[in-house]
Amino acid sequence: MNMQLNETHDPALRSWVASANTAGTDFPIQNLPFCVFRRAGSDEAYRGGVAIGDQIVDLGRLGSALSGVSAEARSAAALAAQPTLNALMDAGPAAWSALRLALSHLLRGDAAPRPELLVAQAAAEYALPAQIGDYTDFYTSIHHATAVGKLFRPDNPLLPNYKWVPIGYHGRSSTIGVSGQRFHRPRGQTRGASETEPVFGPSKRLDYEMEVGIFVGGGNAGGAPIAAADAERHVFGLCLLNDWSARDLQAWEYQPLGPFLAKNFATTISPWIVTLEALAPYRAPWTRDAADPQPLPYLDYPALRDSGGFDVELEVLLQTAAMRNAGMAPVRISLSNFRHSYWTVAQLMAHHTVNGCVLRAGDLLGSGTQSGPDAAEAGSLLELSGGGKQPLTLPNGEQRVFLEDGDTIEMRGWASRDGRPRIGFGAVSGTVLAPR
């Protein structure tokens, strides 16, 4: 499905919510991403919300505000008011689009202001936007795969199957948390190059991974394969995702079966899900080097090369405990873009289901670390530090090769294009605590 532009994408639209019209805001009226929230510190039920400027439209309060809109939009709004967005995700793209259009009309500058529908983002707390039944993490950046491969296999960095098949593994949904997650440094077995036996203890090579999360909308009942050309009809939207990784645990355990304790202790996602409809003006061509294998037929589709990708900037910032105590803001350590991905969102969905695997609304796919072709575009410390051999020096003089206790990683994402507003993903942050 190649989403067509419609009236909700009009760059001239303005909102009666003044902060939505500010240059550089993540949440103009053309965005309208979804979350699940409640007032901070309250015992209110969590419910769906939509960002507009620095406010949240409380989808549990819409009521008469949607009188006169389509029955489909009203039905979708009722689904969105629930404590999770799973039912809305399962309703499908027609319902999502109808609700988006109704909200766009409700919030436009020529509509009657309804401030009673709003809650300030600064006064809210967030929950996971969906009950995540299953989580799969992919490995879609050839630049990341090559850079990491060179650290372990200098003469053969990229394994032969990489250019033929989207590589992934099944992760653990139970330890996925929303932005603000704080977790203890994981412990496990490690074995250094000079050691003959493994030792047990806290990870010494803790890392982050800058990823894009993909929330499944309607699933594939009965395990019917989802065709690549239809796959985006089954994608509710995208979020930011940090797949924390214990590199020393990973190096010891990953052969022959792949990631386990090195990956399943914490994954952090942003509270906001940006719909594919909102990202329609920011599609990007997908390219594959002519010397590389071209996708097998089940991974190919008509819109692939013209608009299979997404032009989304991805930023990583680091704040140490010392920086935080001194009042220093997080500092950028890398900037990449989702358009560099070797495999597209649609290809991941098609490959995941081609063998009969069932996906359900609310399932989450991770894109894998999104690194670009330049060294400064690396999406992990493993790459930025050359495997721990080249420390990063921060503005306060501290150095990092891997994460220390008290470090906070913040990630941001946004799409922008001349003549169009910035469509932002907000931020996802997480903090490393001392081991238990």
Which residues belong to the annotated binding site? 137, 139, 153, 209, 211, 243, 250, 254, 263, 267, 369
Using alpha carbons, list the distances in angstroms from residue 412 to 13, 26, 240: 24, 10, 7
> How many residues in the chain?
436
Q: What amino acid is encoded at 129 in this protein?
A: P
Q: How far apart are the first and last CA of the chain?
A: 47
144 a catalytic residue: yes
CA 250 to chain centre: 22
What ranges in 237-334 are assigned the alpha helix state H? 247-253, 304-307, 321-325
Q: What's the half-sphere exposure (Cβ side, CA atoms, 13 Å) at 77?
A: 25
Sign of CA dihedral 180, 184, 190, 193: positive
Known binding residues for substrate are 139, 153, 250, 254, 369
Known binding residues for Mg(2+) are 243, 263, 267
Euclidean distance between CA atoms 218 and 230, whole angstroms? 12
Q: What amino acid is encoded at 336 in this protein?
A: S
Element (H, E) at 35: strand 34-39
Peptide linkage before 154 cis (omega within 30 of 0): no
Contact 123/115 with Cβ under 8 angstroms?
Answer: no
Contact 392/402 with Cβ under 8 angstroms?
Answer: no
125: which strand partners? Answer: 38
> Strand 135-138 relative to strand 364-366: parallel, antiparallel, unpaired?
parallel
User: Coil, strand, or helix at residue 238?
Assistant: strand
Contact 239/270 with Cβ under 8 angstroms?
Answer: yes
Q: Residue with structure tokens 């190096």?
A: 251
Sign of CA dihedral 177, 166, 215, 25: positive
Contact 25/423 with Cβ under 8 angstroms?
Answer: no
Catalytic one of 144, 234, 351, 352:
144
Sign of CA dihedral 122, 126, 129, 134: positive
Contacts (Cβ under 8 Å, ≥6 apart) of 17: 29, 52, 53, 55, 107, 118
Catalytic sites, residue numbers: 144
